Amino acid sequence: MSPTDAVPTASTVPSAPPRGTPDRDTARPTAEVGPEGAEAAIIEHYDRLVRLGYLVLPSSLGHHRRVLAAHGITQAALPRGRIVRVGGGVPSPRAAGRDGAAGGAPEDPAYTYVRQRVLRAALDAGRPPRIAGREFPLLARVSPRRPGGILPRVFGLRFLPRPAGAAGTGPEQELTAAASPTRAAFALRYLEGLDPEVTRRLLEEADIGENIARAAVRAADALAGRASGTESDGAAGTDGTGKPGPTAAEALPVPDPCLLRAGPTDLVRRRRRTRTALVSAGVLALIAGLMAVQPGDGGSRAPGSAAADPSLLLRADAGAWERAGRLDFTSWPARGPAARDRELLDRVLAAWASPDARVTISTTRGTDPGPPAGPPRLLYAGEVDGAVVVLMHDGLRLMRYAEAAGAGGGPAVLDLARTDGAHGAMASVVVLNRGEGTVRYLTAPWVSSALVRDLRETGDEGRPVAVDGHGATDALPTPAGDTECGAYPVLEFTTADPAGPGPYPMADLGELTPVQLTSGGPGVDPDASPDEGAREVWASTACHLSTLAGSGVRTVGVWEFARQELPGGGESAGW
How many whole angstroms separate alpha carbon 433 and alpha carbon 170? Answer: 83
Please state, in angstroms and as integers, the Cα–Cα distance from residue 27 to each residue in 13, 90, 156, 431, following that order: 10, 13, 52, 56
3-state SS track over 170-190: HHHHHHHHCCHHHHHHHHHHH
Q: Is 500 exposed, middle or buried (0-12, 13-18, 19+ CB in 10 A)?
A: middle
How many whole angstroms separate alpha carbon 191 and alpha carbon 257? Answer: 14
C-alpha angle with apex 353: 342 to 357, nearest 5 degrees?
100
- In the DSSP assignment, the letter for residue 4 is G
How many whole angstroms separate alpha carbon 105 and alpha carbon 269? Answer: 54
H/E stretch holding 285:
helix 267-292
CB 312 within 8 A of CB 448: no
Chain mean position to CA 420: 15
pLDDT of residue 106: 55
3-state SS track over 469-484: CCCEECCEECCCCCCC
pLDDT of residue 306: 62
For residue 129, how many C-alpha atoms fall within 13 Å in the half-sphere facing its CB? 10
How many whole angstroms separate alpha carbon 309 and alpha carbon 204? Answer: 59
pLDDT of residue 363: 92
Kindly report each contact of residues 533-538 with a partner whose C-beta sits within 8 Å and lies 24 or more positions away, as own/partner. 533/560, 534/558, 535/458, 536/458, 538/455, 538/505
Q: Is 162 exposed, middle or buried (0-12, 13-18, 19+ CB in 10 A)?
A: exposed
For residue 127, how many C-alpha atoms fall within 13 Å in the half-sphere facing its CB? 19
How many whole angstroms separate alpha carbon 175 and alpha carbon 167? Answer: 12
pLDDT of residue 27: 43
- Residues contacting residue 7 through CB under 8 Å, at least 6 positions apart: 34, 36, 37
- Residues contacting residue 42 through CB under 8 Å, at least 6 positions apart: 49, 74, 75, 77, 78, 114
Please state, in angstroms and as integers, the Cα–Cα distance from residue 73 to each residue in 52, 114, 339, 488, following that order: 10, 10, 56, 56
- Residues contacting residue 17 through CB under 8 Å, at least 6 positions apart: 23, 25, 26, 28, 87
pLDDT of residue 66: 85
How many whole angstroms separate alpha carbon 541 and alpha carbon 517? Answer: 12
pTM above 0.75, yes or no: no
Please state, in angstroms and as integers, the Cα–Cα distance from residue 512 to each residue in 205, 416, 490, following that order: 51, 7, 15
CB 162 within 8 A of CB 255: yes
pLDDT of residue 101: 36
Can the peptide bond before residue 22 be classed as cis, meaning omega within 30 degrees of 0? no
Return per-residue pLDDT of the chain as tens, 575 residues. 333 333 333 333 333 333 333 444 444 556 777 788 888 888 899 989 999 998 898 888 877 788 888 888 888 888 876 666 666 545 555 543 433 333 444 578 889 889 999 999 888 887 776 665 566 665 544 344 455 555 556 666 766 666 544 444 566 677 888 888 998 999 898 888 899 999 999 999 888 889 999 999 999 888 888 877 665 433 444 555 555 544 555 666 677 788 777 767 666 666 677 778 888 888 888 888 776 654 444 333 444 556 678 889 999 999 999 998 889 999 999 999 999 999 999 999 999 999 999 999 999 998 999 999 889 999 999 999 999 999 999 999 999 999 998 877 789 999 999 999 888 889 999 999 998 999 999 999 999 999 999 988 888 888 999 999 999 999 999 998 888 888 999 999 988 876 666 788 999 999 999 998 887 766 666 666 666 677 888 888 888 888 888 888 888 878 777 778 878 777 777 77
**Residues forming a β-bridge with 473:** 467
CB 104 within 8 A of CB 193: no
How many whole angstroms separate alpha carbon 24 and alpha carbon 572? Answer: 46
Where are the chain's structural domains? Answer: 1-162, 165-254, 267-294, 322-422, 438-575
